[in-house]
Chains A and B, each alone.
Chain A
């Protein structure tokens, strides 16, 4: 058959290397312009620092080249660029603050965590030779994810920071387990839904032309809804609740191909939001801030959103230039509001470029989900990709007044070790799945000819 053609599969490793050099180059350039603006000099250890960064990136690239050679070539350069830009911005904000401030040394810590996170990603890649191995641990990861979610409420180690109880602390170390929980729950949802999708998708009866699920099949979504509400209630964490529930509904929809799940999810979310607004004063405050960020009553609650918006406005179209704005005036400019910091210094153009990097990352993830052949892989890749999109929407949407502000971190950009660990691991998983998605399958063992399945 002429449908079977011989062609050399394109691995894209050289493209990846080129893009990676480009990414490192941009980060180094950004770093130099911060130093030039603040200290009027090129940093003394520039060559060592740039060399170190390049070495880490190249090392990761070599792992992919020899061990995961069909992996998507865009994921690593994008993650590297975002992580690097985040580092530069955190360093820049640290420079603007007094040396005695509580955040002193945060750039160094972020660098350490970045290195650890990359090492972690490499370890995951080397250990996980096939993503389907994860299916074995479906319920274990589910339980671990749940435990991590509830950990901040545990006595002794739970900590309330910035009004939300989403941290755990042991001694001087604090850790935000929500990000890791996101990853584990995505694995759990994928494993669980691939098992139960038949029951959830086929049974049911038609109401108004839409096939509605049976009552007993509503169990999982209701349970997830209640869990999200519990997170919201106990940890005052609007963002995580939204993220987990949205992720679950999206994956449910992918698994069952039934639109009715989306309708049910939206109704439940609306009901939850309505109830939360009436029950929790902090939700009402967030809504006030959202609707009238510059009003007197908003000022009495928090000036964070207002100052963040002022920062973005002062950046305008072209930005004030790296090191030349005042992002440090905004509280949490290095974590929740790092996007506003970029908007201020790189302008609308820079912010759009950064958002487009996320779009590329997310859509490459979806591309992987379409390309991979097993249901678990599809669900996992789609879930992970959508979680990044949803998280970006919740964070940037909160900062730019699309939705009320909630406390989530921007993947790769924001300061925070747990976030870096979780998101680099997420990239490792996507790389692993994409390796299978893009790998040629042997169509016919007798002829031995290859067919590229990558479209």
Chain B
């Protein structure tokens, strides 16, 4: 019987060899993939058990980890409550922390980023507790506070940029929420809070400033139409445009009308400058048809339309339809039809005009600092495109200053400071009050801040001034906060 016993012994060895291979597969070959699985509680716990880096605004933590005596060891605390939720996001064990910087820069905050590799090696040898890196933001706390307070109970969003660098100075979306309720370690309470946020008709979880439902930009888009015209070199600010009370579009029975149903000037004629100052729909619709859809689309793309940015939060790409017939082109030229833009996009338009035509890449994180205070990353100012020529930028600036001094944008005037701006009143659906828009920069001669404001359903359907009266003061408050320091 010895021969079959030997063979059976071989079989047993073979069975064990299989087990050695399968264990090696799981613990060595496939381990990284398994550790990265979304529902892997062990990985979550490892991340939670490490001190997470803070998120800082002007040196003060708006998100930080506090040691607690429970399984998760660290509690994430958002010291400013509802002021920064759409920037920070939340770090929750119960619901997926899938938004904000907590998500976008998770690898840095948790310390698992490859950029922290050397630091982790030295942790291993020195026995130091591993910790994540901190993010120092570009946010100006006064601008953020001004935007938050000025927007108040209204739904909408505010974005403020430094036009020279692209640094995001304020980013507010209303309604807001308190991320602390989601960061708690009591999963039942967090679950309830989460369900309530999801069910809230105001949709507070949406970041209206950079994502959300994408608003029609309305008359603020006229800046892009005007830029396209000036870039052809066939137009100056004094070029004469047709400006009737209403414009019959080819193949469409309903004529395109001005808000006040008045002509924009004597003899149904106006200039480019005046058309922008009073936000004349017919003049810009006609201009749009003359320039053509391609010119509008090209100019919009130079300002950043069609590009999904990461600041590092994901910014939804603003869009202009790929195919437009003549009446659609006319509607698009005044920011209606299916043109959609984020407040971030419209702030970038003002910023590019302010920065002599050069569009800078917006960014939110100035510096990444490891827990031993070495700087791991420093933001570099990146040029996104040359949106318009310096001359066009100069002309547009003059026109935008006129809007604020004598046009629809007067509510945004700041004493002693020259402000350049443009109002917007965006129709969205029959019977709904239009969204009120305002985008501006100041000081016009030495721009320090560019801003875009949208207030949902805030405009007055009958008056283009709605954008100015509702959104204008908010823009003003933010710009003042930046300029006055």
Residue contact B43 to A314, C-beta cutoff 8 Å? yes
Chain A proximity mask over B1-43: 1 for CB below 8 Å, otherwise 0: 1111110110111011011101111111011101101011111
Interface of chain A: mostly helix, strand, loop or mixed: helix
Interface of chain B: mostly helix, strand, loop or mixed: helix
User: Known contacts A313-B27, A326-B45, A386-B8; is A397 also within 8 Å of B34 by CB?
Assistant: no
Residue contact A400 to B16, C-beta cutoff 8 Å? no
**B46 in contact (CB, < 8 A):** yes
Residue contact A326 to B42, C-beta cutoff 8 Å? yes
Residue contact B20 to A393, C-beta cutoff 8 Å? no
Residue contact A369 to B5, C-beta cutoff 8 Å? yes
Q: Which residues of B contact A362 (CB under 8 A)?
A: 9, 12, 16
**A158 in contact (CB, < 8 A):** no
Which residue of B6, B22, B25, B35 contacts A397 across the interface (Cβ within 8 Å)? B22
Q: Which residues of B contact A253 (CB under 8 A)?
A: 4, 8
Chain B proximity mask over A340-384: 1 for CB below 8 Å, otherwise 0: 000100011001100100110011001001100001001100100
User: Known contacts A355-B20, A393-B19, A401-B22; is A313 also within 8 Å of B35 by CB?
Assistant: yes
B25 → chain A, closest Cβ, in Å? 8
B-facing residues in A323-353 (Cβ within 8 Å): 325-326, 329, 343, 347-348, 351-352
Q: Which residues of A contact B15 (CB under 8 A)?
A: 389-390, 392-393, 397
* Cα A250 to Cα B8 with chains together (Å): 7
Of B8, B13, B27, the most chain A CB neighbours within 10 A belong to B27
Nearest A residue (CB) for B17: A359
Task: Name the interface size band of chain B.
Answer: 35 or more
User: Known contacts A310-B37, A314-B35, A400-B26; is A393 also within 8 Å of B4 by CB?
Assistant: no
Residue contact A375 to B1, C-beta cutoff 8 Å? yes
**A317 in contact (CB, < 8 A):** yes
Q: Which residues of A contact B12 (CB under 8 A)?
A: 359, 362-363, 366, 385-386, 389-390
Which residue of A255, A307, A352 contacts B20 across the interface (Cβ within 8 Å)? A352
Residue contact B45 to A402, C-beta cutoff 8 Å? no
Q: Which residues of B contact A393 (CB under 8 A)?
A: 15-16, 18-19
**A294 in contact (CB, < 8 A):** yes
Q: Which residues of B contact A250 (CB under 8 A)?
A: 8, 11
Task: Name the interface size band of chain A.
Answer: 35 or more
Residue contact A311 to B8, C-beta cutoff 8 Å? no
Residue contact B37 to A294, C-beta cutoff 8 Å? yes
B-facing residues in A418-443 (Cβ within 8 Å): none
Nearest A residue (CB) for B40: A310
**A160 in contact (CB, < 8 A):** no
Chain A proximity mask over B274-305: 1 for CB below 8 Å, otherwise 0: 00000000000000000000000000000000
Residue contact B46 to A257, C-beta cutoff 8 Å? no
Q: Which residues of A contact B25 (CB under 8 A)?
A: 400
Residue contact B35 to A310, C-beta cutoff 8 Å? yes
User: Known contacts A326-B42, A386-B12; is A370 also within 8 Å of B23 by CB?
Assistant: no
**A312 in contact (CB, < 8 A):** yes
Q: Which residues of B contact A212 (CB under 8 A)?
A: none
* Cα A228 to Cα B4 with chains together (Å): 24
Minimum-distance CB pairs A-B, first 9? A313-B34, A389-B12, A400-B22, A366-B9, A348-B27, A313-B31, A393-B15, A314-B42, A254-B4
27 A–B contact pairs at CB < 8 A? A257-B3, A306-B39, A309-B34, A310-B34, A310-B35, A310-B41, A312-B27, A313-B26, A313-B27, A313-B32, A313-B35, A314-B43, A315-B27, A316-B31, A329-B42, A343-B23, A355-B23, A358-B16, A362-B12, A362-B16, A370-B2, A370-B6, A390-B12, A392-B16, A393-B15, A396-B23, A397-B18
By a beta-carbon cutoff of 8 Å, the part of chain A in contact with chain B is: 250, 253-255, 257, 294, 299, 306-307, 309-317, 325-326, 329, 343, 347-348, 351-352, 355, 358-359, 362-363, 366, 369-370, 375, 378-379, 382, 385-386, 389-390, 392-393, 396-397, 400-402
